[in-house]
C-alpha cells in the first residue's frame, strides 16, 4: 500500500493521478485533512484517510498498514518542522519501509529562508532510520505562469532575482518524479536535485510571454523593499512577502539553479518547456 499526504493539493492531485495509471486504486491510500475534498478519489476506489499534520494522532491512524509514504511538505510555513516531525514519528510507528519527502533544491546548503524547515525535516527523517527518498524540488513553473495577470495588465514582470537562473519545472514534472520513486525499485536513501532542463531568467520569461501575447512585457528588477511593497499591495501578507523576496534574492545568487538533469532522468522524458507552460494559461 502506497499512501500520499497533501493529496488534495495541486501537486498531490497530480501524484495520485499518476499513481492510478500505474497501480490499482486498492493499493493506494491518501491522508488528507478534509476527506470531502477527496470524494472524487474515493469514488475511484482510493482509500481516503483523515489526517491533519497538526494532530499527531490522526497521522498515526492514517499511516497504519502502509508500506510507502509520500510526505508532501505542508504549506503552513513556520509550523512545518513540528508538523513533519509528527508525520515522521507516525511513519516510524507504522513500520513504513520507504518515506519519500518533497524537499527543496539543495536543501542542505541553500541560503533561502524557506529551506530551513526542509533541511530540518530531512534531518528528522535521516535520524528516524526509515529508508528515505528526498525529492528536492526546484521552483514550479506555475509560480510564474499562474500569476501572469498583473504582468499582462502592467506590461512588466517584477521581482528581485536579477538575472539569476531558476530551474523551473511544472508540478506535473515533479509529480512524475514522485510516481517514479514510489513505483520503481532502487531509490532507497537517494537524494534527487530536481529542476527543469532549461533554467530561465525572468527576462527570458518576460520575453516568452511577450512573444506569445504580442504585448510589450519586460522584466523589471526591483530593490527588495520595493518588491516587498508590490507584493503587500497586491495582498500578500507581510511575513510571506518577506519570504518571497528572500527567495528571489536567493535566486539572484543562483540558489534556485540546477543543471544536474536528474529530473529528466527520473521521469524518462524532457521536462515541460516554458513555451508549453505559458501557452497552457493563455486564452486560445
Ligand atoms: N517548489 C515550489 O515552487 C513550491 C511552491 C509552493 C509550495 N511548495 C511546497 O510544495 C508543497 C506542495 O505544493 P502544492 O502546489 O501542492 O501546494 P498546495 O496546493 O498548497 O497543497 C498543500 C497541501 O498541504 C495540505 N496541508 C496543509 N496543511 C495541512 C495540515 N495541517 N494537515 C494536512 N494537510 C495539510 C493541504 O491540504 P488542503 O488540500 O486541505 O488545503 C494541501 O493538500 C507545498 O505544500 C509547499 O510545501 C513548493
pLDDT digits over 153-169, tens only?
A: 999 999 999 999 999 99
Confidence of residue 42 (pLDDT cuts 50, 70, 90): very high
- CA 231–ligand 1 middle distance (angstroms): 20
Which protein residues are within 6 Å of ligand 1, measured from CB?
Answer: 6, 8-12, 32-34, 37, 52-54, 72-76, 83, 102, 137, 139-140, 143, 171
- CA 53–ligand 1 middle distance (angstroms): 11
Q: What number of other Cβ atoms are within 10 A of residue 210's Cβ?
A: 17
Provide mean pLDDT across the span 6-15: 98
The CATH fold of domain 2-137: Rossmann fold (3.40.50)
Q: How many whole angstroms separate alpha carbon 222 and alpha carbon 242?
A: 14
pLDDT at 68: 98
Q: Provide CATH 3.40.50.720 ranges for the chain.
A: 2-137
Q: What number of other Cβ atoms are within 10 A of residue 237's Cβ?
A: 10
Taking the CA of residue 34 as reference, the ligand 1 atom at the shortest distance is 40
Mutation probe of ligand 1 site: the residue of 3, 10, 11 with most atoms within 8 A of C-beta: 11
- CA 12–ligand 1 middle distance (angstroms): 8
Write down the mean pLDDT value for the chain.
Answer: 97
Does the structure show a pLDDT above 80 at 3? yes
pLDDT at 2: 98
Provide mean pLDDT across the span 77-94: 97
Q: How many whole angstroms separate alpha carbon 42 and alpha carbon 169?
A: 29
Confidence of residue 283 (pLDDT cuts 50, 70, 90): confident
CB of 38 within 8 A of CB of 68?
no
Mutation probe of ligand 1 site: the residue of 35, 69, 72, 146 with most atoms within 8 A of C-beta: 72
Instruction: Give the model confidence (pLDDT) of 233-259 as tens digits.
Output: 999 998 999 999 999 999 999 999 999
Provide mean pLDDT across the span 65-83: 97
Going by alpha carbons, the residue nearest to atom 33 of ligand 1 is 52
Going by alpha carbons, the residue nearest to atom 8 of ligand 1 is 75
Instruction: Give the model confidence (pLDDT) of 190-223 as tens digits.
Output: 999 999 999 999 999 999 999 999 999 999 999 9
CATH number assigned to the domain with residue range 139-170+195-258+270-284, chosen from the 4 options 1.20.1060.10, 3.40.50.300, 3.40.50.10190, 3.90.25.10:
3.90.25.10
Q: How many whole angstroms separate alpha carbon 160 and alpha carbon 164?
A: 9
pLDDT at 284: 77
Q: Provide CATH 3.90.25.10 ranges for the chain.
A: 139-170+195-258+270-284
Mutation probe of ligand 1 site: the residue of 61, 62, 75 with most atoms within 8 A of C-beta: 75
Q: How many whole angstroms separate alpha carbon 169 and alpha carbon 195?
A: 6
Q: How many whole angstroms separate alpha carbon 69 and alpha carbon 135?
A: 13
pLDDT at 10: 98
Going by alpha carbons, the residue nearest to atom 44 of ligand 1 is 75
Amino acid at each position: 500500500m502506497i499512501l500520499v499526504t497533501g493529496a488534495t493539493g495541486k501537486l498531490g492531485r497530480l501524484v495520485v493521478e499518476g499513481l492510478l495509471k500505474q497501480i490499482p486504486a486498492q493499493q493506494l491510500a491518501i491522508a488528507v485533512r478534509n476527506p470531502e475534498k477527496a470524494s472524487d478519489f474515493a469514488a475511484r476506489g482510493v482509500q481516503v484517510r483523515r489526517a491533519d499534520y497538526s494532530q499527531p494522532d490522526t497521522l498515526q491512524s492514517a499511516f497504519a498498514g502502509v508500506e510507502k509514504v509520500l510526505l508532501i511538505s505542508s504549506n503552513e510555513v513556520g509550523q512545518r518542522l513540528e508538523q513533519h516531525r509528527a508525520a515522521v514519528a507516525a511513519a516510524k510507528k507504522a513500520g513504513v519501509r520507504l518515506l519519500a519527502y518533497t524537499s527543496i533544491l539543495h536543501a542542505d546548503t541553500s541560503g533561502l529562508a524557506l529551506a530551513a524547515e526542509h533541511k530540518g525535516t530531512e534531518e528528522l527523517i535521516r535520524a528516524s532510520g526509515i529508508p528515505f527518498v528526498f525529492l528536492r524540488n526546484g521552483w514550479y513553473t506555475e509560480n510564474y505562469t499562474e500569476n501572469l495577470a498583473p504582468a499582462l495588465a502592467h506590461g512588466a514582470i517584477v521581482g528581485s532575482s536579477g538575472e539569476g537562473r531558476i530551474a523551473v519545472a511544472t508540478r506535473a514534472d515533479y509529480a512524475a518524479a514522485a510516481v517514479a520513486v514510489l513505483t520503481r525499485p532502487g531509490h532507497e536513501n537517494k537524494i534527487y536535485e530536481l529542476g527543469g532542463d532549461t533554467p530561465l531568467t525572468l527576462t527570458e520569461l518576460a520575453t516568452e510571454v511577450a512573444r506569445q501575447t504580442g504585448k510589450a512585457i519586460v522584466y523589471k528588477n526591483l530593490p527588495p523593499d520595493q518588491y516587498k511593497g508590490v507584493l503587500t499591495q497586491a495582498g500578500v501578507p507581510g511575513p510571506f512577502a518577506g519570504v518571497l523576496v528572500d527567495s528571489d534574492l536567493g535566486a539572484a545568487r543562483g540558489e534556485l539553479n540546477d543543471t544536474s538533469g536528474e529530473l529528466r532522468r527520473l521521469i524518462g522524458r524532457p521536462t515541460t518547456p516554458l513555451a508549453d507552460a505559458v501557452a497552457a494559461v493563455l486564452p486560445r
